[in-house]
Amino acid sequence: MKLHYQVDGDNFLVAGEASASLKRTLKQLGIDSSIIRKISISMYEAEMNMVIHAYGGVIDVEISTDKVHILLKDKGPGIPDIDLAMKEGYSTASHEIRELGFGAGMGLPNMKRYSDHLNIYSEVGVGTTVEIIVFLM
């Protein structure tokens, strides 16, 4: 089945709704809780990045019996150096955002750790597409 979410970029204090809604759906599908956890953590971090770094975007999720495929697309500033962005602790978040408890630079490393496949396509000035796959078996 397919799910589509619109993510607003202006208010990151209430962000995370798409992840919460997907989590609920996955629980109803009876997916193993440790796998749901992997998906939730990856999706939440990716959603937050979209809100904090890229003025929101759209998320498309496809769930089948063997995997969950998540595609997050934004028209934000893009990531100039993906390898660098993947480093633990690397963050370009502003001081204000850090004050609010975000910007620890652990989002991308955790997405890598908890997903089975993580692909990032990004072009500076155009936007970023993040693809996450988690297998269910």
Partner 1 sequence: MYSHSVTLEQTKCIGCTDCIKRCPTEAIRVRGSKAKIIEDRCIDCGNCIRICRNGAKRAVTDDIDMIQKYKYRIALPAPSFYAQFPKAKNIEQILSTLYKIGFTDILEVGCAAEVITKHTNEYVQTAKNFPIISSSCPAIVRLIQRRFPSLIHHVLPIISPMELAARYIKIQYLEKGILENEIGVFFISPCPAKATEIHRPKGLDRSYVDGVLSMQDIYKMMIYKMNTNQNIDVKRQSSYKGLSWAMHNGGLDENTIKSHIAVDGMESVIGILEKVEDGTLSNVQYIEALACTGGCLGGALALENPFISRYTLKKWIEEDLAKGICSNEKLIQEIASLPYAFNKDITPRPVFSLDRDMQKALTMMEDIETLYKQLPKIDCGSCGAPTCRCFAEDVVKQDAKIEECVFMLRKRIQDLSEVMHNLTQTVIPTHNDNNRKE
Ligand X SMILES: Nc1ncnc2c1ncn2[C@@H]1O[C@H](COP(=O)(O)OP(=O)(O)O)[C@@H](O)[C@H]1O
| Binding residues for Mg ion (CB under 5 A) | 49, 107
d(CA 102, CA 96): 9
Q: Which is nearer to ligand X, 42 or 68 (CB)?
A: 42
d(CA 122, CA 110): 19
Contacting partner 1 (CB under 8 A), which of 8, 9, 23, 86? Answer: 23
Contacting ligand X (CB under 6 A), which of 92, 112, 116, 136? Answer: 92
DSSP notation for 91-123 = ----HHHHHTT---S-HHHHHHHH-SEEEEEEE
Judged by CB under 8 A, the chain residues 47 through 66 that form the site for partner 1 are 63-65
Distance of CA 52 to the CA centre of its chain: 11
Residues in contact with partner 1 by the rule CB under 8 A:
1, 3, 16, 19-20, 23-25, 27-31, 33-34, 36-37, 40-41, 44-45, 63-65, 110, 114, 136
